[in-house]
Amino acid sequence: MFKQLFPVVFGVMLAGCGVSEPDYSGLYVGGDETALIQLQIVDADSGNINGSVTTSLLDYNAGDLNQTTKAITGVRRGEQFSLLAHHGELGADSPLSLEAKGNSLMLKVPATGQSIELVAMDQNQYRDRLTQFASALNANDVGLLPEE
């Protein structure tokens, strides 16, 4: 009798085990030679997202690294993220659309249609990447960039 009921009981036990959604909380970084983007998010169980986005731009004329940080909120449905970067009193909020691809998030830039891969990394890796990015400010001082 037990041998006949075992498959049924085992099946019911497995059905009760929920498949948990992946947690995308963490730090993601991406960009190119013109901008570096840091996205820090907390992915709540309910699918709500909170965090911040920091954009780093090089100002060659001033010899400075300009950083802008905005709070973000939004939702995640599966692998799709719909976020808003809040500008506060300075202007309208900016929508951000992302899609999870493995350990990366793909940021879709609506104005250009391009996608920017944001790779998961820790704070030390981000600092190294930011230092490498900012080193381009000194490249012209040592003759690495052509004079314009």
86 inside domain: yes
pLDDT of residue 124: 96
| Mean predicted lDDT score pLDDT of the chain | 83
At 10-30, the pLDDT tens digits run 454 544 455 567 889 999 999
Q: CATH number of the domain at 73, please.
A: 2.40.128.50
Is residue 93 within 8 A of residue 85, CB to CB? The reply is: yes
For every residue of 20-44, DSSP letters joined together read: PPPP--EEEEEE-SSEEEEEEEEE-
At 81-129, the pLDDT tens digits run 999 999 877 778 889 999 999 889 999 987 788 899 999 999 999 999 9
Long-range contacts of 139-142 (CB under 8 A, 24+ apart): 140/60
148 inside domain: no
pLDDT of residue 33: 85
73 inside domain: yes
pLDDT category of residue 147 using cuts at 50, 70 and 90: low
Q: How many distinct structural domains can be found in the chain?
A: 1
Helix (DSSP H) and strand (DSSP E) numbers for the chain: 3, 8
Cα distance between residue 105 and residue 83, in whole Å:
13
50 inside domain: yes
